[in-house]
Structure formats: structure tokens, C-alpha cells
Structure 1
């Protein structure tokens, strides 16, 4: 097992990653840690983009919305004139229990309008098989044409980048840039990245499995939906 760190991972970030990997970390601490990592990734993204007249679209999954995505949004919205937001509810499963055949259909989504997108950010707590990221990205690019696509996570599996590139035409994957703090090279037979983020993110965040998280409406979605409607 080998974990490598990116240029963005300082000692404070490594401590946060160790907290995620520690299976004894309680859900409240895990949530707080995810939010802090989201804030740190937000700072990384801000250093990569032009702030003037910049339209940014942040996409996440429901389990990450109130934690990782909330942290990133808090940073982005301090500096940028406009950040649109989309949240996906995916049902991930492996037909015939074959991990390489994993699919993640979208059950529902919350999506804010945006006329043009300079930077599309796909944010996820961990990118392993890349199935969820691929599904949600395909859905988004049917309606928007981003100039740049940032694929962002605290932790990635070493094969995820190549798998994502292979899933898209060159005109799309040429827009990809990957940002992460740590990359791991080992998975269990069930597909869990080691040390990854310490297991199933649903359980670690306090959800009672995948069905429970898909019944959840994030507070950030509720508040942003209310602001749009008034």
C-alpha cells in the first residue's frame, strides 16, 4: 500500500486526511473534517482561476453537499461573483456483483441555472471507480459547455484519472484538470480504497447506508432553493 501526496497537501491537510482514514473518528468529527477539506480545496481552486467575470458551476453528490461542498462553497463565494450549484442523488450498484460493471443512475437532482460556465467543478469525497463522476458529468455536459472541467476530491484512487479520460471523447477530456490531496494505489475486493477515507462515506457521515442518504435533502439545497424562490 502506497499513499502519495500532491503538491497541495501540507502537514495540516495530512492530519485531516488521517482523521478521515481513522475508523474510530465519530460522525460529527468526520463531517467537520470534510468541511475543512472542502474549504482547503476551495482555496486550491481559487488559485487556479481568473476571478474577473468568472462563472463557476459546482457539482456534488447528496452525501457531500452539507460537508465537503459546503466548505468549498464558503470559500468560492467569498471571492467569485457567481457560483451556481448542482446536487445529484445517485444510486450506485454493481450488476451481478461485478465491480467493473458498476453503474450509478441519477434518481433526482437539484440544479441552478447558469447561462455560461467558465469552470465546471466536479467535487466528490473520494474518486475510485469514477462511475458516479462519469454519470453526473455526462448529464451536465448535455446542457452546458464548460470551458474547463475541474475534477476535485480529497482522495483519489490511482487508476481513476485514466478511467475517466477513457470514458470521454478527446474534446471533453482535454478540458480535464485533476485536483486532490492524496492518491492511493490499493483497493479491497469490494472496491474500498485503502486507506482512502476510512470506509463507506455514507456510514462515516452518519447516514444509515445508501438508501438513507438518498432520502436526505441537504440543508444547503433547502436554503439555496429558498433564496431562488423568493
Structure 2
């Protein structure tokens, strides 16, 4: 079953610099702003990386007693206000934004191409400091400290209302004859034990003495003794 996506407007990437008056052509920080037509729940954000070292996510949420139209008309005031200007004020006020994800590294080595084009998922439940409820705006803060890459951004941004539905992970146990045994779950210890049995040519129905640490196997010399 397909998951429900959330529509949004996008602006940016916009370069960011400490001194805006001295903003150079090359900056290591950009911001992409996502605006939602009404307060909504977000469970996951996915995107494709393009030479971005790390990404942060800042969240703007509507007040619980607010009726907000992000296009610029406010019914019952955003964040305590009651005039149309309060919407613009909330978007510009740094205090109105909450840091959900401070700095998620998506390109572990900024000077090399490792993971520079990976598909990235950020979920609210596991990675955000705040809930993504009644969200009217998200800011994706892109960082790239390396001067090697003149251009960096993210693309194919998708917002999902719910968390991802992942099937349970299971690996069939492989017997000595190469046939998988059905209805069994293999843990890493199971796989290690099987590999050790095959390496030492121990029949499947015989147990390892001491679970690889008894008298039958010397962990110091790594020799099997009869």
C-alpha cells in the first residue's frame, strides 16, 4: 500500500553567511524552506544528496489555538498574535523555530565523494528532538565545509505524513546442503556458529563444546583439539 505524501511549497536553496553584507559567491551553508498549506503532521522526509556534508532541520509549528493560512492570512493569530503581520513575523523570528535535527552527517568525508549521491531518510520519531505535529514550515540547513565542491544541494525532496512501514528483517538459516530451513530466524550468533561448524566440519546435529569457548576449541591458539 502506497504511503500518503504531503504537498508543500519550496524556496531556496538560499546562501547563508554571518555577515550578509559581505556574502561571497562561495558559502558553506544554504537553507531550503518548505511551506505547508495548513498545519500538518510529518513523519518522514526523504531526499537525494548532492555533495552535502550535513543537514539540519528546523521546525515551525502553529500554536494549538491558531487557525493559520501560510499564504499570509491569519484567522486566530499565530503564536499569540491576531493580525495578518504575525505570520511574517513568525517566519522571520528565530525564536519561533525549533531545532529538530541539529546536524545529521550524510557525507562522512566532506573532501571525498563517499555518500555524495545517497538517498537519505530523516524520521521524526528516531532522529528529531521535537515532534513534527501541526507543522507549517521546515527549514533544511545544508552544510559543506569543504572547498572542493563548488556546488552542493539536495533534490527529490518528499514529505510523508506517516513513519515508514518496514517489514521484519529475517534471514533463513542455511544448512550444510545449501537448502534454507523454513520458519526459522537466524541471529548473527546462529550464522557464526554455522560458519564455524562448516569450517571445522562438525555435523549439524553435534553441539560445540562450551559454545566455542570450552575444551574443544582453544581461543588463544585458534586451534581445534580433539
Alignment TM-score > 0.5, same fold: no
TM-score calculated relative to the size of structure 1 = 0.24
Higher-strand-fraction structure: 2
TM-score calculated relative to the size of structure 2 = 0.25
Higher-helix-fraction structure: 1
